[in-house]
Amino acid sequence: MNTDKEKTSYLIGLQVAGNLLAQGVDLDIDCFSKGITGGLNQEACEIPPEEANALLQKLEAGIKEKLQKQRMEAAMANRTAGEEFLAENAKKEGVTTTESGLQYKVITEGDGVIPTATDTVETHYEGTLINGEIFDSSIKRGQTVSFPVSGVIKGWQEALQLMPVGSKWEVYIPFNLAYGEAGSPPKIGPFSALVFTVELIKIV
């Protein structure tokens, strides 16, 4: 490959192949090459239209089924990992588990008023997955965040209504008190347990 056209053609071929492999498409390389050549040369398709449509529909259905299976397997892995994490975490010193399954550990105990569901609060926080990967952080942004207590995920709602102003807690939230079965793509997968460091600064 000497010219830009040759190199670009090669790179496009690699990209197409990579996309097909990522989707799990099983191809005959010789026939695939024949199809590419025929398409670029604007040749007529050698397969009758009705059969061609049926084959492509079958391929699309197979890809969708495989992707759905992969998503379900990943979701179940998230759920299992979260349950195991919370079960082990509950045994640690200083960790309290509430009736709902929410867990928290007091880092700093404030002496202010405890918010109610109708209050708006100002907080600093950092949220991570159970593997420690940060998905959101007002601390890193260097700017506090205010929101209604009733306007956040259930785990936050419960924790905030237990925290006196001035407190800093580490909060461990099971998936059903976080973003549930759907998660919050792209950073939070389905059935994900979450960990937050939450500092309750004041009731606004």
Convert the pLDDT of each residue in 62-117 to its tens digit.
989 988 998 899 999 999 999 999 999 999 999 999 999 999 999 999 999 999 99
Residue 49's pLDDT is: 93
Residues 173 and 126 sit within 8 Å (Cβ to Cβ): no
State how far the Cα of 51 lies from the Cα of 44, in Å rounded to an integer: 14
- What is the phi/psi pair of residue 190, to 5°? -60, 145
Reduced to 3 states, what is the DSSP secondary structure of residue 202? strand
Q: How confident is the model at residue 23 (pLDDT cuts 50, 70, 90)?
A: confident
Q: Which residue in 145, 155, 140, 99 sits closest to 124, CA to CA?
A: 145
Q: Which residue in 166, 174, 175 sits closest to 198, CA to CA?
A: 166
Question: Regarding predicted confidence, which is higher, 70 or 155?
Answer: 155
Beta-bridged to residue 146, according to DSSP, are 122
Instruction: Please name each of the domains of the chain with its CATH number.
Output: 29-204 (3.10.50.40)
Residue 25's pLDDT is: 87
Say whether pLDDT at 1 is over 90. no
> Exposure pattern of 113-127 as b/e (b: 16+ CB <10 Å)?
eebeeeeebebbbbb
E strand intervals along the chain: 95-97, 103-108, 120-129, 134-137, 145-148, 168-173, 194-203
State how far the Cα of 100 lies from the Cα of 155, in Å rounded to an integer: 9
Residue 60's pLDDT is: 92
pLDDT tens, residue by residue, 157-201: 999 999 999 999 999 999 999 999 999 999 999 999 999 999 999
- pTM, two decimals, is 0.78
Say whether pLDDT at 145 is over 90. yes
- What is the phi/psi pair of residue 171, to 5°? -120, 130
Q: How confident is the model at residue 21 (pLDDT cuts 50, 70, 90)?
A: confident
Q: How confident is the model at residue 58 (pLDDT cuts 50, 70, 90)?
A: very high
Please compute the mean of the pLDDT values over residues 54-59 and round it to a whole number.
94
Reduced to 3 states, what is the DSSP secondary structure of residue 95? strand
Q: What percent of the chain has pLDDT over 90?
A: 89
Active site residues: 125, 135-136, 153, 179, 196
Whole-number mean pLDDT of the chain?
95
Q: Residue 188 carries which DSSP code?
A: B
